[in-house]
Structure 1
Amino acid sequence: MNLEIITPDKKVYAGVVDSVILPGSNGGFQILNNHAPIVSTLAKGNLVIEANGKKETFVVDGGVVEAAKNKVLVLAESVA
């Protein structure tokens, strides 16, 4: 599935991933290929992506995520 992580300043990440683990406002959750459509707010925490057997971690400072039709868009307030 395609993932984009965007802040007000720049595009932080764009690429194909196998899974995304997100810090939801009501607890962490994972999005996999063919996930049902979802829109959720994000809390401050770790966003972990897995692609080709490798994991990469970003620290987001809140935001929103939208996932539909194997496209995931993360609009983050900031990313470290």
Structure 2
Amino acid sequence: MLLLEIVSPEGHLFKGGVTSVTVPGADGEFQMLDHHANIVSVLVAGTIKIAVPDFKTNQEFSPKFNKSEKDQKFLLPVKSGTLELKDNRIIILVD
């Protein structure tokens, strides 16, 4: 499982365990799963898609997230950002 932390200028938007994260990278959308290689990337305008182990759980997502019942993911629209993934821990800074 990945540990994901998303931070905006307003504060923390999410911190918790996830099964996958899909982000809008500068060269296109890409997904990170458990044991992904370490990476640093710039994010462009788009949507961060988060899959959690139990979609029905009441994890503490910021009201900025949308919930996609069809895809079983939580969605966060972003304008830009950066991310670092190291040792199964992802930190995403967003605007």
Q: TM-score, normalised by structure 1?
A: 0.92
- Match of 2:44, SS state, is strand
Which of 58, 72, 77 pairs up with 1:59? 77
Distance 2:85 2:10 in 1: 22
Report the equivalent of 2:65. Answer: none
Offset at 1:16?
A: 0.2
- Deviant stretches of 4+, over 6 Å: none
Note the residue ranges of structure 1 that are not aligned, 5 or more in a row. none
Aligned residues between the structures: 77
Distance 1:5 1:13 in 2: 5
Q: TM-score, normalised by structure 2?
A: 0.78
The percentage of aligned residue pairs carrying the same residue is: 36
Report the equivalent of 1:75. Answer: 93
Report the equivalent of 2:66. Answer: none
Report the equivalent of 2:46. Answer: 45
Report the equivalent of 1:29. Answer: 30
Offset at 1:35?
A: 0.6
Distance 1:42 1:48 in 2: 13
Structure 1 or 2: more strand by fraction? 1
| Larger Rg, first or second structure (1 or 2) | 2
Distance 2:34 2:86 in 1: 10
